[in-house]
Amino acid sequence: MIKKYLEIGQIVSTHGIKGEVRLNPWCDGPEFVKKFKTLYRDDKGQASFKVVSCRPHGNVAVVKLEGVDTVEQAKALKNTVLYMKRSDVNLPKGKWFISELIDCRVVDADDDTVEYGVITDVDSGLANDVWYIKTDDGAEVLIPAIKDVVINCDVENNRVHIRPLRGLFDED
């Protein structure tokens, strides 16, 4: 399902004494966070922060938010999840946000009546993404998110069409 606002990361601590925060990115990394001029405090976009500056610092982003000028104000934001507006990102064709893939129904690319289950998680720390599929009987199957397997992602309609590798869903 396409979401208007997506989680970008969580504030994990302060940085320095001028109100900067350390944001643990839940996206491609700290470089990705630099693209945004506004971040949001909720998934509805009702409370926003103007980004004054942002820079990578190891595996986190050091972010200066407008109106957060002291270490005390920054401390008060610890554990806050920040959101980005999806329309602020131009994704290349064939790319999706992980949070939009979660809960998508996985169906056979050649027979739409064959359903394999639901995407419950994505592991992107490998050579290619691996999708965790929970079948209707509760089993978990891991599929490689490669072009030979993933034929079409229709996140707007909450469906992903795959052509599974032999043996992935076959019963023994």
What's domain 5-86's architecture? Beta Barrel (2.40)
CB 40 within 8 A of CB 87: no
CB 35 within 8 A of CB 42: no
Q: How far apart are CA 121 and CA 88, in angstroms?
A: 24
Q: How far apart are CA 69 and CA 78, in angstroms?
A: 14
Residue 74 phi, psi dihedral angles, 5° rounding: -65, -40
Give the tens place of pLDDT for each residue, 13-62. 999 999 999 999 988 789 999 999 999 999 999 999 999 999 999 999 99
pTM for the structure as a whole: 0.76
Instruction: Match 């359903």 to its residue by tokens.
Output: 115
Counting every residue, how long is the chain?
Answer: 172
CATH class assigned to 98-162: mainly beta
Q: Where are the domains of the chain?
A: 5-86, 98-162
Instruction: Match 């691996």 to its residue by tokens.
Output: 130
